[in-house]
Structure 1
Amino acid sequence: MATGWAPEGAVQDQIDSTVDSAVQHARSRLPAGDSLTHCEECEAPIPEARRAALPGVRLCTLCQGERDEARSEGYNRRGSKDSQLR
């Protein structure tokens, strides 16, 4: 596909670069270090499998789910223009 003065594949290279940057940013925000044995919020034990899968985990699955849900309430998941205008 001709894109004027841009070389072939430049658009795809830019998309790939953007995705790579987003992945690196997301990975940098993951917890690291030693995991806790009990949840910071509710003191429930954190299973060994969760601690092994996510180094640096500090919350049980229930508390983490509640935190994730609270963060995502502002997102438009329907994707229609009507829902974006409200």
Structure 2
Amino acid sequence: MDDSILRRRVYGADHDDPDPGPRPDRDYGELVGGPLDGLLLDVTGWTGAQLTEEVRLPTEIGRYGPGGRTHYCRREADPARWDWSGDSP
């Protein structure tokens, strides 16, 4: 893993976690755009089908606040990146 990835925070890590970054034994996708822009999504062990589906991630910082979800789709031309596609309640 390069240094720019190692300094990033993983989605779902606690805000007070002393080491919220990625681990070398895991696979990640970068979330691009939307409220979770720049975070890493742990996709370790996901099947090919799961990697092609839109993910709906719980977040309090999206358009709908607490209880809302933000949506990301894996970028076909660059599978290491997941593009924001909107929010839902």
Shared fold (TM-score, shorter chain, > 0.5) = no
Task: Name the structure, 1 or 2, with higher relative contact order (CA <8 Å, separation 6+).
Answer: 2
**Which structure features the higher share of strand residues?**
2
TM-score normalized by structure 2?
Answer: 0.20
Structure with greater helix percent: 1
TM-score, normalising length: structure 1 = 0.20
